[in-house]
Amino acid sequence: MEGALTAITKASPWADLIELRVDYLKDPNLALLVNDRPKPFIVTNRRKEEGGRYHGDEKMRWGILKKAIELDVDYIDVEMRSKRSSIEALMAYRRANHKKTRFILSFHEFQWTPSQKELRNVCDRMSRWEADMAKVVTFARSWEDNLNVLSLISYARERGQKIVAFCMGEKGKMSRIFAPFLGAAWTYASLSHDRASAPGQMTVQKMRDLWERLR
């Protein structure tokens, strides 16, 4: 908890939005972390199968996300491969309690990048599930994989769907840089190299330096 609070303080001058990875924390006190937050927050409790560190009971994992809604966090990130009934129950809880927390429905593929047709099908399903934000992240094995994923941004926006889309891995770095220029809602960066939460993630300082050069 102490380390998380320190990281939030360090991230605030750099970030427009801070992702709180609850699955990295031991005995998290969510209220202490999000109350009086300096920037908008995304609360994520990623299970091991989706690249996270959460190993516990699924009911408890969903309970933390429910608590985040109670605390009116700005966003929660829910994996698309989760049980649809669990996702719908959480959305129903938000509506019943008149909370403003927005849902990011996320799809991660850590080994490769599916075809453009498959990726568009993922986006279409996210829209049908009434996600406030779609997040599609795949692993780039080739430079062309970046193009498949970045093309989703205009595809989603034409359908009124807000989206975050980029590739992981060394060859995916370019998509992390260019996604916001193409209309993605945001991209992700780490405070330092040793705090990266996914392969190919750059530091926020590096990302900002690159953007300044492009401008």
Indicate the burial class of 32 (C-beta count within 10 angstroms; 0-12, 13-18, 19 or more): exposed
Q: Given 59, 117, 135, 162, which residue is catalytic? A: 135
Name the 3-class secondary structure at 174. helix
Question: Has 59 been annotated as catalytic?
Answer: no
Instruction: Please report, to the nearest 10 degrees, the dihedral formed by the alpha carbons of residues 104, 108, 114, 118 taken in order.
Output: -30
The structure tokens listed for 72 are 């009116």
Backbone angles phi, psi at 193, to 5 degrees: -60, -35
Question: Has 162 been annotated as catalytic?
Answer: no
Hunting for tokens 């799809």 — which residue is that?
Answer: 107
Q: Given 66, 67, 99, 108, which residue is catalytic? A: 108
- Residue type (1 letter), 3: G
Residues with active-site annotation = 108, 135
